[in-house]
Chain A
């Protein structure tokens, strides 16, 4: 079966711009979570969506937002980009919400802010 698909794979943006990343979960998975990976920081939880509702949110500023559509696809938006937002953004899907496990991750979108 198809895995978690993230687009685009690579992105270069300028400080102050905004960016939208997309995630298509595995068919049948209704939960989508987003994580940020930066060098030396591991993966940090951004937020989780289930049935188009945000169920959980990490400790990130309001510039980071997301949404989920009725087909479970999710988008993440970062506004007013800063250099420190350069990271690998990973999306993970699971059948049920908020279990803290059982995730299948996508390959990520590498965002570079210049």
Chain B
């Protein structure tokens, strides 16, 4: 039973346009959400996070939106650049302080076309 789902395995976007990556979760106890980016042969790199008390967090070209009622979050990249081409993982955590772990989605491969 996947608690964090990324239903689009891949996404292709033109350079300069907006990339929207989506993520759904089923566990209502999740209260902290993160996005990681992964290049081939490298470990995931933290991008941006959001707490469940917020519905939006912005960091430069990256914005994460959280819709708790729909159990849905999305990552917006504006404008998209060829260097953004990578696999993006959505992750969530819950639990007592000191006993949290990340539950990851299966990833979305983003290809930004020049």
Q: What residues make up the interface of A, taking CB atoms closer than 8 Å to B?
A: 4, 33, 35, 40-45, 48, 55-56, 58, 90, 92, 97-108
In the complex, which of the residues A90, A99, A101, A108 has the most CB atoms of chain B within 10 Å of its own CB atom? A101
Contact yes or no, B101 A43, CB < 8 A: no
Interface of B (DSSP majority class) = loop
A55 vs chain B, min Cβ distance (A): 6
In the complex, which of the residues A41, A48, A102, A103 has the most CB atoms of chain B within 10 Å of its own CB atom? A103
Q: What residues make up the interface of B, taking CB atoms closer than 8 Å to A?
A: 2, 4, 6, 32, 34, 36, 41-46, 49, 89, 91, 93-107
Q: Please measure, in the bound complex, the distance between the C-alpha atom of A42 and the C-alpha atom of B1, giving whole angstroms.
A: 13
Contact yes or no, B43 A42, CB < 8 A: no
Which residues from chain A contact B49 at a C-beta distance below 8 Å?
101
Which residues from chain B contact A56 at a C-beta distance below 8 Å?
99-101
Contact yes or no, A92 B32, CB < 8 A: no
